[in-house]
Amino acid sequence: MVSTEAEGRDARGAAPRRSLRVALTVLASVALVGAASCVPPVGPDPATLGPSGDGQVVAVHLSGAYTYATSGSPQGPNLQVTRAVDGAVTGVSGTVSIPGRGADAARLTLDLTIDTVLGLASGSGELVDPAAGLRVPFGALASPVRLDGGSISGTIDWFRAWKFIELRPFRLAWSVSDGTVAAPAPPAVPEASSGSLRAITYNVAGLPEPISGSLPATHSSLISPLLNDYDLVLVQEDFFYPDHIAGALSHPFGSDPQSVVWGTDPTRPDAIVGSGLERYSRSPFTGYRQVRWPGCFGGILPPGAADCLSQKGFSVATHTLAAGVTVDVYDLHGEAGSTAEDNRLSAEDYRFLAEYIDEHSAGHAVIVAGDYNLHPDEADDAAVLAQFQVDAGVTDVCRVTQCSVDPDTIDRFLYRSSATVHLEPRGWDVPGARFSRPDGTPLSDHRPSTVTFDWSLTPG
């Protein structure tokens, strides 16, 4: 019995001791977990992630609906990388100029808010490269980003409006890193007192499919390599496929592609596209600007020729052919249609253009080319064309050189010399067969007009 009672007491005493040990173990575990939660997480300091130096290298790459890539150090201010109090990156913003396809810089605009915990970015931006015919706006909605020591990168999936009724996806990959890359040297302006300029004007029928019946989504890429034979390329109706027209070009200089308007212009509330005027050049140009005609006539429904649906007008820039040799080059698209109101506006537009040339190109050599929408074989149009030559002091190329091929084309070159630069046209042509498919189908509803200008400095 003694032995049994002793074993009972030992058993009863051991139970409380085991309970105490369990309780102490639980309390210790809780304490350890609590202590661990107060210890900073193991990982890199947020302040060490992302670009940190004064020098930057910015890169962009487009795939999908666009094909394009470029990189380099900004030619001017860097992108701004904002940080929180703890040093974590919170945003990337600003506009930078980086080397583009041609001599002119590409411009990348970013306005992104960064969540480094989730690794996501939201915001918007735009990429523009004149020589590549690119203007690509985009939005970022929870787009992935990655931060490393000295760099931040991400991908943005967006879409391109295509053929007016279709959305085509594209991906933009971007990165900003510490470092510097030397900028390429600009092309040298030649020293010469004479030379030649081979020019083309071409209405490429670039309204979006299916509105355009000339298949520009296909034909624009076929047109592009053919334009490399010319020093100066002036196009009209390049509304929707400018990157295709520019895709195979080797010209180092180009105009900024326009944004799609979609009714945002208060002076042209019905406009859904820009002017459609683009230019590409082997010689540099400055002072590029676009000017709309004072008025327009015609919307979606008749009468008229739907001129108010675009920002029709003219563009102008001063081209430097050689050191000290400059020519003001105008590219225009005239009022279409044959109603009385169309005719009235057309005459008014050319009076306006003549006054503009008189004010802004006084004393300069001038080339005025484009789709005039004036038929020289029709009396009313011929009168407007003749009066414009008098008012602007310009001469139709076909008055001084042989224009036996389609002399009544509406796609024309007019010109004048200055006291210091003499222009002499020769070699007029309308190469319709060359700008056609093998089966004879024209690549546009217009044929291009081409001319070679011999130029020389006038002594004195």
The ranges assigned to domains in the chain are 46-178, 194-457
Looking at residue 460, its pLDDT comes to 64
Give me the CATH topology for the region 194-457.
Deoxyribonuclease I; Chain A (3.60.10)
Measured over the CA atoms of residue 13, residue 16, residue 21 and residue 22, the dihedral's sign is positive
Q: Give the residue carrying structure tokens 């904002």.
A: 82
The whole-number pLDDT of residue 22 equals: 43
Q: What is the pLDDT of residue 42?
A: 53
- Chain-centroid distance of CA 151 in Å reads 26
Could you tell me the pTM of the whole model? 0.88
Number of H helices, E strands in the chain: 5, 21
- Return the percent helix, strand and coil in the chain, to nearest 5: 20, 40, 40
Q: Are 200 and 226 spatial neighbours (Cβ–Cβ below 8 Å)? A: no
**Confidence (pLDDT) at 117:** 93
Tell me 50's DSSP state. Answer: B
Q: Edge-to-edge strands of the sheet including 411-416?
A: 285-292, 313-322, 325-333, 365-371, 411-416, 395-396
Per the CB < 8 A criterion, the answer to whether 247 and 129 are in contact is: no
- Which pLDDT score, from 0 to 100, does residue 43 have? 63
> Which residues of the chain fall short of a pLDDT of 50?
1-18, 20-40
